[in-house]
Amino acid sequence: MNILIADDEMSMRYDLKLAVERVAPSDENTFFFAQNYETAVEQIQNNPISVAFLDINMPGKNGLALAQAIKRLNPDVNIIMVTAYREYALDALRLYVSAYLLKPVDDNELREALDNLRKPVGNAKDAVKKLTVRCFGNFEVYAGEKPVRFTRQKGKELFAYLVCLRGTSATRGEICANLFEESNEKKGFEYLKKAVQSLKKDFSKYQLEDVLEHSRNAYSVNTDLIQCDYYDFLEQKPEARNLYRGEFLRQYSWAETYIYHLDHF
């Protein structure tokens, strides 16, 4: 399972990691660390965390505020509060945390906490993360609540093009003809290669390497890893139909061909 340890003291982060390894040894455990509120939120946004150990007394926003933020970002995260003070227990329990442990953490209490988590924890390899894709209006992509930053604009445009195909593969020639204004085929393929490389690198930052699929000389996207307003619209979900206002990927001229279909769907 993926475990986040948030504590402003490095020694406490290290000691708690060792304690978890003692009481719940597993080759599947992956640890993430944060020394403050902001770093912890970033870890939650970018990684499928199963269990979060939160110190209450951290500089700036404390562990209780962090627990509230985590509940909003991912309500399936099991939160275990770790503190040297008893007086926060009631406030923590009101947040429905899995456990409230006092420092120094006792191994038996830690084992009991991990054995009685509120939310079931599966194999970290089975955790599914999705990109949220917005096609109505400008094309935007989010990992959690954080916008994905694309290294190359052509990489972003390539992803938009493949999203529109909804899992159908596009050949190198088709992509180059639609996205790269280059009469020289060899140069077109070089541009595409750079766009693909940058796109893979961008997605790897969010542990979403499997979104882009490549088979021989063709590319596609794994739609199981994409939550998209365009897909929801085609599935006739009411909330998606209400979002469409006649604008679709408006920064890309090739996307205009989709608007007629959407208007008459």
The confidence score (pLDDT) of residue 58 equals 86
| Cis peptide leading into residue 48 (ω within 30°) | no
The confidence score (pLDDT) of residue 123 equals 46
pLDDT band at 209 (very low <50, low <70, confident <90, very high): confident
Residue 9 has pLDDT above 90, yes or no: yes
Q: Within 13 A of 228's CA, how many CA atoms are on the CB side?
A: 25
Using CA atoms, how far apart are residues 141 and 192, in angstroms rounded to an integer?
20
CATH 3.40.50.2300 matches 2-126: yes
CATH code 1.10.10.10 region(s) in the chain: 131-263
Sheet of 226-228: strand order equals 146-147, 140-143, 131-134, 226-228
The confidence score (pLDDT) of residue 155 equals 96
CATH 2.40.50.140 matches 131-263: no
Q: Are 8 and 84 in contact (CB under 8 A)?
A: no
For the record, the structure tokens of 117 come out as: 């988590």
Residues 6 or more apart whose Cβ sits within 8 Å of residue 188 = 176, 180, 182
